[in-house]
């Protein structure tokens, strides 16, 4: 278990309670998986979601690494006999590996340097004298002369002082305080600048906006950092870190020089300059650039994972027949029919050498033969032409269930040449496998996408630039989260899907498939314990996510964990029903007191009870939404078909920090910039759209040279309502009855002396007392009552007549009351003035 200070740091970093972090870390240390904790230990963690639990796990690993490194450093320092109580305290106070290494650097074995040679010449005492700058019996010149020894290769005071500079510079370089100061200043005040290289001169590239670029290191967003780094990688950009070196030098000098202008001044300044220019600045700059790269990688991977999650959780069309169509370039198109169960039926190739009428008839015959008019088109070259061709045929049949949708071909192409694809269809060519996969993607995106290489599943701009190992691991966690959220039918799932279930290893997944074949299908969840590799602990982690279709026990087909079966049985017993009769029985479930029944045999938490209630009402409900096919605009196959102000419908293919890319069927995806997302402020584009969403957009600009398409969602939204402004009422003026309703919806606040809450203040114990310049409450109340009784009767009659004219159910009642109050206060103010 981590130390309390580490747990407190995690809680502060993630804005969580210490108890939540501690409970989660304890569960992780017992071998619980993130999906299991998120779904079945909500009461223990306080309903933390998977993202929060994963963040705790990452911080736990980080601080575990810090603790291990700290222990190793303390052991090494102990062996060197330099570990004092003060040094131990400094080491144990470090909260990250950077500060640990900074402290350890002074004691770390190092290679031979000029400073080492100077120390061997006996100049270390002279360096100590100069660094301490203490007045002594001898002057500096006299003290230096004592170290001029030809036998030590020191023939003059100048040579002695040169050696001292090397020693002092090295000490400054390894000083943790100096490194911390330079690192913090450079991060806070440094600027990353980029400029074009000779390779980019006179060329129009996608990095033009970075030819004269600068942004503070502390503020540069990850996507711009990655863009600059890609430009450097392609040889089009050169980057530098600009920093006020003179200011930094002065701060470092002040750290060591006790008295400016003293005889030690020149030596200290020279040593600082040597340390900073040759060692500190380059090393710290590299550290900061590495940290920026890592942060940019982390952010890009998170974006990629979020897009992958949205794609994996795209709404499925369900058990319907779909025809997958994969363009083959000049060779034509290959079509593959997949039935409602996802079983491949037949494939056929359309030859582009045939006339359009012949191809139209061939496609129509294929559709009619199999009785399905749903076509999924692979987004290969020629996809837009294929979509235009297919849509023209579908318009002829006039079927309400007909649609044509373009699907990203990258995962399907990956599957087509993968081990899974070759094992499933060894006799088919890759284009046919791709068409089959494209069709299945419409039926169930999650089930099909997990067969592909994880890096092809998501959408992002810099997936090839980031740390690939970290990307693979992150995507594997995302896929696992999606699989466990939806649930898996253990009797139909492939080994490819089972390996992502909580607690299941790849070898165990294959064992489940083998055991399923031996048993001719599982009939209850308990049979999973017969699978090699599934013991009690693994069963606990995976059972709730594995459903057994056709099981006699209806609970085996739900997400209710086997640990909760006794409680559900007691619920059914209390209701006088069988479990099968209790499921979906809203009336019976509403009459049961879950909390009271739970307390009879142990106690289940409120969140667990709520989940059981929801599952009994809606067993095995698919969390994904309803499938919707986009309506591709007719006649759009390239940028030439687009014009500004055109309104089209498309599919979101990628969401980044600066906007979303939308496929509108024009070969090039269009960009909806962050500023064109909504009429309200948008911080994160993922708050508005996600990958796979069908959106309607307006074309606002087409740049054929770039090529670039600019789109807008905001342009199709109603304009925002203007903010209401409180009217200013002249002092002493009273609004007429006819104007009150229109102009006094938000009347001005009464003056300070007549606001009861402001006319009194709180004393130390919470009691209130009148202000010195305010009248007692009773006196003010009596004065107001007297004023109302003395109001002219005609004014009261006029006001009553006005109120009678207003319909009884008019919604502006509150505004009328506010208007009357404003009038009364205005009159009262006038009387007090007199």
Among 3-17, 22-36, 628-642, 778-792, which is the least confidently predicted range? 778-792
Indicate the fold that domain 488-556 takes in CATH. DNA polymerase; domain 1 (1.10.150)
Place of tokens 């086997």: 562
pLDDT confidence of residue 737: 40
CA distance 64 to 284: 25
306-330 tens-digit pLDDT: 888 988 998 999 999 999 999 987 7
3-state secondary structure string across 583-612: CCCHHHHHHCCHHHHHCCCCCCCHHHHHHH
679-730 tens-digit pLDDT: 888 888 888 888 878 888 999 888 877 788 899 998 888 877 765 655 554 4
Read off the pLDDT band of 747 (50, 70, 90): very low
Is residue 477 within 8 A of residue 38, CB to CB? The reply is no
Helical pair 4-14 and 50-79, crossing angle rounded to 10 deg = 140
Is the Cα torsion angle 511, 514, 515, 521 positive or negative in sign? positive
Q: Is the pLDDT of residue 786 over 90?
A: no
* Average confidence (pLDDT) over 575-585: 92
Q: Is the pLDDT of residue 245 over 70?
A: yes
* Average confidence (pLDDT) over 151-170: 90
**CB count, 10 Å around CB of 644?**
10
66-119 tens-digit pLDDT: 999 999 999 999 999 999 999 999 999 999 999 999 999 999 888 888 999 999
CA distance 542 to 488: 10
pLDDT confidence of residue 679: 85
Classify domain 321-443 by CATH architecture.
2-Layer Sandwich (3.30)
Burial (Cβ within 10 Å: 0-12, 13-18, ≥19) of residue 570: middle
pLDDT confidence of residue 770: 40
CA distance 292 to 218: 9
618-635 tens-digit pLDDT: 998 889 888 887 665 556
Helical pair 383-397 and 356-370, crossing angle rounded to 10 deg = 60
pLDDT confidence of residue 813: 45
Q: Is the pLDDT of residue 188 over 60?
A: yes
The CATH classification number of 639-716 equals: 2.40.50.140
pLDDT confidence of residue 287: 94
- The domain segmentation of the chain, as residue ranges, is 4-107, 116-305, 321-443, 488-556, 560-617, 639-716, 737-833
pLDDT confidence of residue 550: 86
* Average confidence (pLDDT) over 232-253: 94
In the chain, the largest separation of any two C-alpha atoms, in whole Å, equals 118
In DSSP terms, which residues pair with 242 in a beta bridge? 191
Higher pLDDT residue, 431 or 138? 431
pLDDT confidence of residue 80: 92
The first and second tokens of residue 512, run together, are 């489940």
pLDDT confidence of residue 807: 45
This prediction has a pTM of 0.77
Question: What values do phi and psi take at 222, rounded to 5?
Answer: -65, -40
Give, in order, the Cα–Cα distances in Å from 364 to each of 372, 396, 406.
10, 9, 19
388-421 tens-digit pLDDT: 888 888 888 888 888 888 888 889 999 999 988 9
DSSP-derived secondary structure for 162-208: HHHHHHHHHHHHT-HHHHHHHHHHHHHH-EEEEEE-GGGTT---TTG
What is the rounded (10 degree) CA torsion for 523, 527, 532, 535?
A: 150
Helical pair 176-189 and 281-312, crossing angle rounded to 10 deg = 60
Among 439-443, 682-686, 800-804, which is the least confidently predicted range? 800-804
* Average confidence (pLDDT) over 575-579: 93
pLDDT confidence of residue 722: 67
DSSP-derived secondary structure for 21-66: HHHHHHHHHTT--HHHHHHH-HHHHTS--HHHHHHHHHHHHHHHHH
Is residue 196 within 8 A of residue 236, CB to CB? The reply is yes
Question: What values do phi and psi take at 175, rounded to 5?
Answer: -75, 120
pLDDT confidence of residue 634: 59
pLDDT confidence of residue 268: 92
* Average confidence (pLDDT) over 550-565: 93
Read off the pLDDT band of 208 (50, 70, 90): confident
* Average confidence (pLDDT) over 458-485: 86
Would strands 191-196 and 212-216 be described as parallel, antiparallel, or unpaired? antiparallel
Higher pLDDT residue, 724 or 811? 724
Classify domain 116-305 by CATH architecture.
Orthogonal Bundle (1.10)
Q: Is the pLDDT of residue 833 over 80?
A: no
Among 21-30, 126-135, 529-538, 749-758, which is the least confidently predicted range? 749-758
Q: Is the pLDDT of residue 26 over 80?
A: yes
Is residue 70 within 8 A of residue 100, CB to CB? The reply is yes
Is the Cα torsion angle 437, 442, 447, 451 positive or negative in sign? positive
pLDDT confidence of residue 831: 55
Quick one: which of 513, 611, 604 has its CA closest to 560? 611
- Length of the chain as a residue count: 834
262-310 tens-digit pLDDT: 888 999 999 999 999 999 999 999 999 999 999 999 998 998 898 889 8
Report DSSP state, residue 277: I
Q: Is the pLDDT of residue 797 over 70?
A: no
213-224 tens-digit pLDDT: 999 999 999 889
Across the chain, mean pLDDT equals: 84
Burial (Cβ within 10 Å: 0-12, 13-18, ≥19) of residue 558: buried
DSSP-derived secondary structure for 468-520: HHHHHHHHHHHHHHHHHHH-EETTT--HHHHTTSTT--HHHHHHHHHHHHHHT
Q: Is the pLDDT of residue 808 over 90?
A: no
Among 40-49, 456-465, 502-511, 672-681, which is the least confidently predicted range? 456-465
CA distance 557 to 547: 5
Indicate the fold that domain 4-107 takes in CATH. Arc Repressor Mutant, subunit A (1.10.10)
């Amino acid at each position: 278990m981590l130390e309390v200070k580490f747990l407190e740091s995690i809680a502060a970093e993630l804005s969580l309670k210490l108890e939540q972090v501690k409970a989660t870390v304890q569960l992780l240390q017992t071998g619980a998986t993130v999906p299991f904790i998120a779904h079945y230990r909500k009461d223990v963690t306080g309903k933390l979601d998977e993202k929060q639990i994963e963040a705790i796990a990452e911080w736990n690993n980080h601080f575990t690494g810090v603790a291990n490194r700290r222990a190793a450093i303390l052991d090494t320092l102990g062996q060197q006999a330099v570990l004092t109580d003060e040094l131990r305290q400094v080491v144990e106070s470090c909260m990250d590996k950077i500060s640990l290494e900074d402290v350890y650097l002074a004691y770390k074995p190092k290679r031979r340097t000029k400073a080492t040679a100077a120390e061997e010449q006996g100049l270390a005492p002279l360096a100590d004298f100069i660094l301490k700058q203490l007045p002594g019996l001898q002057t500096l010149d006299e003290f230096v002369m004592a170290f001029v020894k030809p036998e030590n290769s020191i023939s003059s005071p100048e040579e002695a002082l040169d050696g001292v500079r090397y020693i002092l510079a090295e000490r400054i370089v390894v000083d943790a305080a100096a490194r911390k100061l330079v690192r913090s200043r450079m991060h806070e005040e440094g600027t990353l600048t980029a400029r074009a290289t000779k390779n980019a001169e006179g060329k129009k590239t996608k990095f033009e906006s970075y030819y004269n670029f600068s942004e503070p290191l502390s503020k540069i967003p990850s996507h711009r950092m990655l863009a600059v780094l890609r430009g450097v990688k392609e040889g089009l950009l050169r980057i530098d870190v600009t920093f006020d070196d003179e200011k930094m030098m002065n701060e470092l000098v002040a750290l060591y020089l006790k008295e400016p202008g003293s005889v030690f001044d020149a030596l200290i300044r020279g040593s600082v300059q040597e340390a900073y220019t040759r060692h500190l600045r380059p090393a710290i700059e590299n550290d900061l650039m590495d940290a920026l790269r890592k942060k940019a990688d982390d952010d890009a991977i998170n974006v990629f994972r979020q897009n992958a999650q949205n794609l994996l959780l795209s709404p499925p069309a369900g058990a319907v027949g779909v025809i997958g169509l994969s363009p083959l370039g000049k060779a034509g198109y290959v079509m593959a029919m997949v039935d409602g169960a996802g079983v491949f039926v037949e494939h056929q190739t359309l030859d582009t050498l045939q006339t359009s009428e012949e191809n139209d008839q061939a496609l129509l015959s294929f559709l009619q033969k199999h009785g399905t008019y749903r076509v999924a088109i692979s987004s290969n070259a020629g996809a837009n032409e294929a979509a235009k061709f297919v849509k023209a045929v579908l318009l002829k049949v006039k079927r309400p269930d007909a649609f044509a949708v373009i699907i990203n071909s990258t995962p399907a192409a990956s599957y087509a040449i993968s081990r899974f694809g070759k094992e499933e269809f060894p006799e088919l060519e890759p284009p046919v496998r791709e068409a089959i996969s494209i069709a299945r993607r419409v039926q169930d995106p999650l089930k099909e996408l997990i067969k592909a290489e994880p890096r092809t599943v998501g959408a992002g701009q810099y997936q090839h630039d980031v740390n690939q190992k970290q990307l693979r691991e992150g995507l594997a966690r995302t896929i696992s989260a999606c699989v466990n959220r939806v649930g898996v039918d253990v009797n139909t799932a492939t080994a490819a899907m089972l390996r992502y279930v909580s607690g299941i290893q790849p070898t165990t997944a294959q064992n489940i498939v083998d055991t399923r074949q031996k048993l001719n299908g599982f009939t209850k969840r308990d049979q999973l314990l017969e699978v090699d590799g599934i013991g009690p602990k693994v069963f606990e982690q995976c059972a709730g996510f594995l459903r057994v279709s056709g099981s006699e026990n209806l609970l085996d087909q739900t997400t209710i964990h086997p640990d909760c079966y006794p409680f559900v049985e007691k619920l059914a017993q209390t209701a006088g029903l069988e479990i099968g009769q209790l499921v979906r029985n809203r009336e019976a479930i509403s009459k049961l007191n879950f909390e009271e029944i739970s307390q009879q045999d142990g106690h289940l938490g409120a969140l667990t009870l709520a989940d059981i209630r929801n599952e009994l009402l809606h067993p095995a409900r698919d969390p994904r939404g309803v499938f919707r096919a986009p309506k591709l605009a007719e006649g759009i196959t390239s940028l030439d078909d687009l014009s500004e102000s055109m309104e089209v419908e498309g599919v979101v293919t990628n969401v980044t920090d600066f906007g979303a890319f939308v496929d509108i069927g024009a070969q090039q995806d269009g960009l909806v910039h962050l500023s064109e997302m909504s009429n309200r402020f948008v911080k994160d584009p993922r708050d508005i759209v996600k990958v796979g969403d069908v959106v309607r957009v307006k074309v606002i600009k087409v740049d054929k040279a770039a090529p670039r398409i600019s789109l807008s969602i905001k342009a199709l939204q109603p304009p925002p309502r203007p903010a209401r402004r409180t009217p200013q009422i002249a002092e002493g003026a009273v609004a007429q009855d006819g104007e009150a309703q229109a102009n006094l919806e938000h009347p001005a606040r009464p003056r300070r002396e007549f606001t009861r809450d402001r006319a009194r203040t709180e004393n130390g114990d919470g009691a209130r007392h009148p202000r010195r310049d305010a009248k007692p409450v009773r006196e003010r109340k009596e004065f107001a009552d007297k004023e109302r009784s003395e109001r002219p009767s005609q004014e009261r009659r006029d006001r009553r007549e006005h109120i009678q004219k207003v319909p009884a159910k008019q919604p502006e009642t509150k505004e009328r009351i506010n208007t009357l109050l404003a009038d009364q206060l205005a009159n009262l103010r006038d009387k007090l003035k007199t």
